[in-house]
Amino acid sequence: MGFATDAIHVGQEPDPATGAIIVPIYQTSTFVQEELGKHKGYEYARTSNPTRAALERNLAALESGRFGFAFASGMAAINVLMTLFKSGDHIIAGHNLYGGSFRLFENVLKDFGLAFSYADTTRLDDVTRALQPNTRLLFIETPTNPVMEITDLAAAARLAHAHGLLLAVDNTFMSPYFQRPLEYGADFVVHSTTKYLNGHSDGVGGAIVLNDPSLAERVRFIQNAAGAVLGPFDSWLVLRGVKTLAVRMRQHNENGVAIAAFLQGHPKITKVHYPGLPSHPQHELAKTQMTGFGGMLSFETGSLDNARTILNSVRLCSLAESLGGVETLISHPGTMTHASVPPEERERLGITEGLVRISVGIEDVEDLISDLKQALDRI
């Protein structure tokens, strides 16, 4: 069946007890057993919960995977992924990551003996140069946050597997509607479900989707043992959000294309980072592995003062961290999402003091453009 049909129906069959068309919120910590050693598939809510299980089946199907696991946040999901490895293992990560991922790697996981190197994954020769005998994982974002660089997923998978590595892809920016990395050979897909999957800025969560049964059993064990699971109400919120994922993503994309074009043509903007623009250096690659370009973009204003003027002048766009909600959010990566990245590294990556990021919502695009225009006029 089609994507929108799966989003609405997979894992969300009518409740057998009542016929309710919406999966119930099983707000319970434990489950009564019929007799010693005999239960109905559930024992304790950390181990498994019917609402969470429905979401996990749904997300697995949408990402073309066999196994899905839901966690308390996107960072909890990434932390579980890293827990698959042991002290002394080496991981290559993309050089342009979400600041929270960089913070986890550098300020937490290094203390437990994991080693990290960072490579420009748009240039796979750079990845090859970073390989070490103990390298076990290649971890990438595509598009990257916030300068929207694109990595060739199929080529990255071939390189990783040729060297005995696993490939993990953070697919938060695209959602499975526009990109499904497992179909290109990735071993893991991770998400912050907080973003497009939920879509309504009212819940925090994360997910891992994969195909390999042995790796899935290990993730399942760590999920239960470490316990950073997604609660039933937040699972229900994501299930609700996913039902409209297809129609939302189409509108995010339509608005994103229009706003990117507006900004590119504005005399006060020196650069726009958006893979849907023909001027983007990986535009042609994006067209081959993405079915749309989404609603995430960033643009260069030239200075911190200019960025501040825009951020403090918008009226409809909301100045806030996060992304992927129905409302448009605007932010300053250098002092917000990527503040934990050292200033010299931010500058090298193009995360300048003048860079502004927009998560384009699904409002009337004419209103969004009008809001950005009046803010730009104040520079």
Give the catalytic positions in this structure.
46, 98, 170, 195
Residue type, position 96, single letter: N
Query: What ranges make up the beta strands (E) of the chain?
Result: 67-71, 90-94, 115-119, 135-141, 166-170, 188-192, 206-210, 271-273, 296-300, 318-319, 329-331, 355-359
Q: Are 326 and 362 in contact (CB under 8 A)?
A: yes
Burial class (CB in 10 A: 0-12, 13-18, 19+), 133: exposed
Q: Which of helix, strand or coil describes residue 176? A: helix
The three-state (H, E, C) secondary structure of 259-291, written as one string:
HHHHHHCCCCCCEEECCCCCCCCCHHHHHHHCC
Cα–Cα distance, 286 to 192 (Å, whole number): 21
Nearest partner of 165 among 78, 76, 93, 64, judged by Cα: 93
Beta bridge partners of 209: 68, 189
Query: Residues in the chain, how many?
Result: 379
- Tokens 């891992």, located at residue: 208
